[in-house]
Structure 1
Amino acid sequence: MTFHHIGIETHDPEASIAFYEKLLHFKEFHRSRFMEETFIFLSNGNECLELICVEEASAQGSLHICFHIEAFEVFLKVLEMEQIAFLEGPYTLDNGWRTVFVQGPAGEIIEFLAEN
């Protein structure tokens, strides 16, 4: 398992893109819609950010951490054996990625993602 991305909610995606491009040299590499939401992925070659477009950002903002996994179905069984409930998913995204969200022990949101 490896780190994949951090997801950040934004109500102004173009301002967020400009901020990360200018300061940290991130570039957009993928944009998609899923379940009425738009997701924009940015990369600087080493790190990946996911901008989650929302109508209104919460006062505190919202983040999640994502880990890349190799064997998605096997990992789902591990989560079930450990009695870790799914918050969302599992889903298959339009680019073929498989994803599921769980809640960590401190209330954090954790996404596990398998790419094609």
Structure 2
Amino acid sequence: MKLHHIGIDVVDLNKSTEYVQSTYQARFLFEITFGEETIRFFQLNEFMLELIYHPAKEQLSCHVAWQVDSIDRILNHISSEDEKKIEGPYQFENGWTSIFLEVDEELYVEWLEETPLLIDTIETPIPSVMVDSCCRYSLSAGRALDTTSPYSSC
């Protein structure tokens, strides 16, 4: 198990994006929409930072995401008491599967399994110049990173 990312709820996604990019030189990786949430991932040295914006959320929270080899193995070791506090598993287009354990209203723990997708399943042609380490998550999401985005530094 290793640290995959830290997720933080934010009030203003654009201001928070500007802050992490200017203060920490975080590289924008990709943005997804999950329900009503808009989520942006950034590369910060050896791990990722996830900024989460939800328009109706009043109580902000954070979480630590651990990358694991098997979500099923984690689920098999969850106590019956904690089982009631599990959200997921969720499947994402980029091959990630994750579950969340609510520790309290302000803190969650996430376990995430990355399943590599085959390049042949990607419909959008990807220029070879785009295929580098900062784009690997965009590749696994099935699309090349939008280099015209104001958040992209790839």
Pairwise CA distance, 1:35: 1.9
In the alignment, residue 108 of structure 2 is paired with which amino acid? I
Match of 2:61 in 1: 62
Correspondence list, 1:3-42, <5 A:
3-42=3-42
Match of 1:47 in 2: 47
CA deviation vs aligned residue, 1:9-59 (integer Å, no higher than 9, x gap)? 11311111110111111011021112232111011232211111122664x
In the alignment, residue 54 of structure 2 is paired with which amino acid? V
- Counting strand residues as a fraction of each chain, which structure ranks higher? 1
In the alignment, residue 5 of structure 1 is paired with which amino acid? H
Match of 2:120 in 1: none
Q: Could you state the TM-score of these two structures normalised by the residue count of structure 1?
A: 0.83
CA-based RMSD: 1.8
Asked if structure 2 preserves the Cα contact closer than 8 Å seen for 1:6 and 1:63, the reply is yes
In structure 2, distance between residues paired with 1:88 and 1:78: 15
Q: Could you state the TM-score of these two structures normalised by the residue count of structure 2?
A: 0.65
Tell which structure's C-alpha radius of gyration is larger.
2
CA deviation vs aligned residue, 1:58-97 (integer Å, no higher than 9, x gap)? 4x74211111111122222122xx2222431111012120
Count of paired positions: 111
Q: Gaps (5+ residues) in structure 2?
A: 116-154
Q: Which has the higher contact order (CA 8 A, sep 6+)?
A: 1
Q: Gaps (5+ residues) in structure 1?
A: none
- Counting helix residues as a fraction of each chain, which structure ranks higher? 2
Asked if structure 1 preserves the Cα contact closer than 8 Å seen for 2:20 and 2:26, the reply is yes
Match of 1:76 in 2: 75
> Following TM superposition, where does structure 1 have runs of at least 4 consecutive aligned residues deviating by more than 3 angstroms?
none
In structure 2, distance between residues paired with 1:39 and 1:4: 15
Q: Percent identity?
A: 29
